[in-house]
Amino acid sequence: MSVVTPVRRLSSLLVFLLVSRTLFAGENVWTTNGPPGPITALAADSEVVFAGSFANGQGVGYRAIDGNPIWTPVGEVQLYWSISDFVVDPTAPERVYAAANYGLDVSAVYRSEDGGHSWNHATSLYEPIFDLTVQPDRPGTLYAASRYCFRPPAHFLSCAAEIEKSLDFGQTWTGTRAGLFGASIFRIAVDPIDPQRIYAAGDAGVFVSTDAGDHWSAINDGLTCLPTLAVAVRSSDGAVFAASGKLESFRLTCGGVHRSIDGGRTWTPMRLPPHYVTSIAIDPTDPRTMYAAAYWPGGFFVPRGTVFRSTDGGDTWTEFGLGLPFAGVTDLAIEAAGRRLHAATPEGVFDVEIVPGARPPVIPPRSHTTKILPARP
């Protein structure tokens, strides 16, 4: 996900409230391991973790081997651009995509065929990209969560939710707004049981497509908090989980996690304390175990971030681990073996050992020879 989404803009405003700390790796203990700066993108594969950081007005991409996260810079985008997402192709793990944004105006998509060591510019779009998703049964098919803004002669800005689709590994894209409403789409999730069924989370709720993204419709029956920041689908039974949150003047007006067991036709709120929930991660080795990144603003000067865990499929939730920064977590990623959970925060990536045995994290100095990602044409 991206610094241009509401929660990440909020996190950037709260950076000055953070306190420095040194933690030691351990089971149920969150440990900061860099890279430096607020994290704007996060993805984990079976062996590699990717993170995008935005510091000193520039986005930098990093790569680490999971379990021994020595972060290596893999590229920089242009000044004032931020990396909004990484996604690893599940059918070809050496193929990695990255999205970068320049404000809310334009975006660029990059593709690596060697695990992130080198990158090629795939395309540029005249709208931001908040999330990239690969359709696992169709190599080369990607979806991008976005928005399209109109600028009439009076300079009044009006934006509409939009989803972009590519059939050629990110080189060309076709956008659709049919069946969508609201101003933005933030996340997209493909149903692992039925890959033709795709869910999208936006500021106007949850949408579904049953024909691989060609047509969309709203599925909000039972949602008690419409602004939806994330959506996840459980591989064991197709249950859908939606994370939501709404802030007014930095105060929470609604938020939490909803579950649907009928493909989004109806939703039930989970028994999670009211929080601004930004991300959901489901354990790939135990689908009844899941994690929700949450933030409780409590007024501008009393922030509180945490992660909740459920081990019974979402029926009950408890806070998980110690040591997260107060400004909260903007994204979660869990590696394929289910041993470690990674959290994107304004202080860097935090890790926690789900299964004991991870190596202590190391923060390397940034190389002065970091290569530049190809500029958009």
Q: 261 and 239 in contact (C-beta within 8 Å)?
A: yes
What CATH number has the domain bearing residue 93? 2.130.10.10
Q: Determine the straight-line distance between the first and last CA of the chain, rounded to whole angstroms.
A: 24
54 inside domain: yes
Task: Give the C-alpha separation, 259 to 278, whole Å.
Answer: 15
The pLDDT score that the predictor gives to residue 250 is 78
Q: In whole angstroms, what is the distance from residue 358 CA to residue 41 CA?
A: 22
Q: Look-up: residue for tokens 């990536």?
A: 349
Residue numbers of the domain that contains 252: 6-353
Centroid of chain to Cα 71: 19
Q: What are the Cα distances from residue 7, in Å, to 48, 124, 159, 279?
A: 26, 25, 18, 11
- Would 337 be classed as within a structural domain? yes
For residue 360, being part of any structural domain is answered with: no
pLDDT at 359: 45
According to DSSP, the residues that pair with 306 across neighbouring strands are: 294
CA nearest 197: which of 147, 260, 109, 285?
260
Q: Which two tokens stand for residue 13?
A: 């405003």
Under DSSP, the state recorded for 29 is B
Main-chain phi, psi angles of 255, to 5 degrees = 165, 160
Token pair for residue 357? 């045995």
Which residues are CB-neighbours of 335 under 8 A, at least 6 positions away? Answer: 44, 45, 46, 47, 49, 66, 342
What whole-number distance in Å separates Cα of residue 31 and Cα of residue 169? 35
Q: Looking at the domain assignment, is residue 373 inside a domain?
A: no
Tell me, yes or no, whether 376 lies in a domain. Answer: no
**366 inside domain:** no
Whole-number pLDDT of residue 10: 32
Question: How many residues appear in the chain?
Answer: 377
Distance in angstroms (rounded) separating the CA atoms of residues 319 and 151: 44
DSSP letter (8 states) at residue 27: B
Q: Determine whether 184 is exposed, middle or buried from the number of CB atoms within 10 Å of its CB (0-12, 13-18, 19+).
A: buried
Give the Cα separation of 73 and 88 in Å (integer). Answer: 17
Within the chain, which residues score under 50 in pLDDT?
Answer: 1-25, 358-372, 374-377
CA dihedral 259, 260, 265, 269 (to 10 degrees): -30
Q: How far is CA 79 from CA 4, 59, 119, 347, 372, in A?
A: 15, 7, 18, 21, 10
pLDDT value of residue 118: 94
Please count the structural domains in the chain.
1
User: Which residue, chain included where needed, has tokens 């803009």?
Assistant: 9
Question: Is 369 part of a structural domain of the chain?
Answer: no
pLDDT at res. 358: 44
Task: List all residues 6 or more positions away from 246 whose beta carbon is below 8 Å from its beta carbon.
Answer: 225, 226, 227, 252, 253, 254, 255, 276
Which residue intervals of the chain are DSSP H helices? 6-13
Flag whether 362 is in a domain.
Answer: no
**Per-residue model confidence (pLDDT) at position 33:** 77
d(CA 121, CA 51): 18
* Location of structure tokens 């242009």: 78
